[in-house]
Amino acid sequence: MCALMAGAILNVILDPVFIYALNLGVAGAAIATAISQIISTLVYLCYILRKKSVFNFRIKECCFAKEIMSEILKIGIPTLIFQLLTSLSIGMINSAAKEYGGSALAAMGPVTKIMSIGTLIVFGFLKGFQPIAGFSYGAKKFDRLRAAIKTAILWSTIFCVIFGLVAAICSMEIVSLFTKGDTEMVRVGSIALRANGLSFVLFGVYTVYSFLFLVMGKAAEGCILGACRQGICFVPIILTLPSVWGLSGVLYAQPIADVISAIVTALMAVRLHRELRTAENHISTPPQEY
């Protein structure tokens, strides 16, 4: 936590120095971010190399065995795909919005930023859920796994409902903070933020299961579910809906993708829990003696 906060706080301090004091503009922001991340990395390395951590390592002890690398890649590749699709979806929605004028394009910026705050908070919470679920599943502690799933769904959904409703109810006031007098931007942005806020209430459940499949070693299911919201569902919608529905097709593309992804999640979750019950019953049933 200290290492992360050190980088974040340093970034806040260096941004105005490089952007304004040194007059480097956007390049200054990039330099400030790079320096901050380097400092965070050095804090981590110093902590480990000084042997203050319970975890110590040496390069010669690193093992690149096929079994180890495959388990790492099962989680790493779907996460990489998700990150790439997130960037792709932002680019595609901006590209679609620019066809309807500068105000429409400008409106998508605040909407993306506001919703990103919510998604990152959920990701942070579920990063804590991942190891608990993984350890419980690996140890076949199915009662603990069920409790972890219920807790993660409950609290992530509570947050998503509160955050989504605030974004939807106060959409016009929030978007107004990002402009001075551009009424069209406020109108378009408030519609998009309201729709995204309402569909965000489903995000917690969707993300819990996309994380859960990965930690259970179900790479294919986790990859499909992880790519569903901003890839498999979103890309066809953003490519076709604006030609039918105009600007509204751009504004409602992500919410529609959210709803479809939630339906897919529900179907996959039912199957997953059926498999977990079967595995649990197999363990709890004593072997027959003959």
Residue 66 CB contacts under 8 Å (≥ 6 apart), including other chains: none
Helix (H) or strand (E) holding 177: none
Name the nearest CA neighbour of 259 among 149, 126, 164: 164
- Helix crossing, 203-215 with 219-227: angle to 10°? 150
Helix (H) or strand (E) holding 248: helix 247-251
pLDDT value of position 285: 65
Q: What global pTM score does this model have?
A: 0.86
pLDDT value of position 24: 94
Cα gap 28→254, rounded to integer Å: 32
10-residue averages of pLDDT along the chain (290 residues): 89 94 93 95 86 75 85 85 90 94 94 95 93 93 94 97 97 94 94 97 96 90 90 95 95 96 96 91 66
Cα gap 52→44, rounded to integer Å: 11
Q: How many Cβ atoms are within 10 Å of 289's Cβ, its own excluded?
A: 4
pLDDT value of position 168: 97
Positive or negative CA dihedral for 88, 213, 79, 42? positive
| DSSP character at residue 216 | T
